[in-house]
Structure 1
Amino acid sequence: MDYSKLNEISKFNNKKFPFREVIKNIEKHEVFKFDNSELLDILKNACKNTIIPVNNVGFVGRPNEFGNIVANLFAVECKKLKLDYQKPRDSKGKYKESGYPDGLIKFDNKYFYIELKTCEEKQQTQTFRTFFYSPSTNSKIVYDASHLLICFLTTKNGGILQLNGDYHIVDMYEREVKLKLEYNSNNKELYGGKLL
């Protein structure tokens, strides 16, 4: 490893880049501007149809677990509307739960990647990071496609986490992302060697 290049890489830390250019340069795939009104109408219906089943769960756990419930029930509603919605396979043809994106739709012989989020309605204008894309040797991005982010807004009702009925559908084509470099370690690495 040529450690002299670390400083060169660091100069890009906290810089913003168009998401479409990041995907094009790292994944070697195009991000298309979304322009399919028929699919948009179906996705809106799937979002609306997801709200009651999610709220019927009566969820009281962690927000991350709630997001998994929302994602699973959204997939069910997409399939009810005859959408070819599936979990994306990686570059080796395997299904991966973690990492961007959450879903893949094939519609009119075109591909659309879907990232699902939940956000507390009061936190929509806050600036902490909630969208993450990390390059991978086994990426789930294997097609030229439009990339959509669907966010369901949440509220708490007597300690129960629920969807408030509103949602956002975002075309990632025009969005920017910030590079956040970090060096990290896990517990095994930290505590598995010589200790004081």
Structure 2
Amino acid sequence: MPAVFLQQRERFREATLKRLGVSGELFDQFNRTLAPHVQQVRFRKGEYLQHAGKPATAGFWLFSGVGRRGLITSDGTDVTMGFATDGEPCGSHHDLLAGEQGLPALEFVVAESAITAARFEWTTIVRLREQHEFMREYYLKVAEYSLRRYSQSCYMRSMTSAADRLQTFRQQHPGLEARISQKALASF
């Protein structure tokens, strides 16, 4: 799996460097260190990568497909919190941190399409982060990206017009609309 992981990560190198604002050297160090610890996994459309109500113990990085993060409100409404696509991390950072304490995840992650991904244990990330300064540096960049993504989602939700929300969604996620269900789009 390490060779496949490194090959897949290389496919998304430039986009990842830009998205996270990391150097090529840091990207390579991170990937070489993590590669022996990942497992390739596949999910069919509709399968859960993470269940709400159970501690989140693993994160994912998508080789292909679309993952949807969401939650169920107290009145039973399915609300989409965000999407991850090819080359992106997929999961709930908040739930992974809560999972360290054995707390249940608030969000679920479901495959909106067939997914091929790298799965990594969160405890491995924590251990590697403690052992290597460059792992902490990379983790910080991923956390910053996660916060930016969450902020964009909140901004979009603050718009009162559905037409404005749809236009902003299309600008922030070009091409994604064709890859997801209308139900998922509406719940976002």
Q: What is the TM-score normalised by the length of structure 2?
A: 0.24
Bigger share in helix: 2
User: Which has the bigger relative contact order, CA under 8 A and spacing at least 6?
Assistant: 1
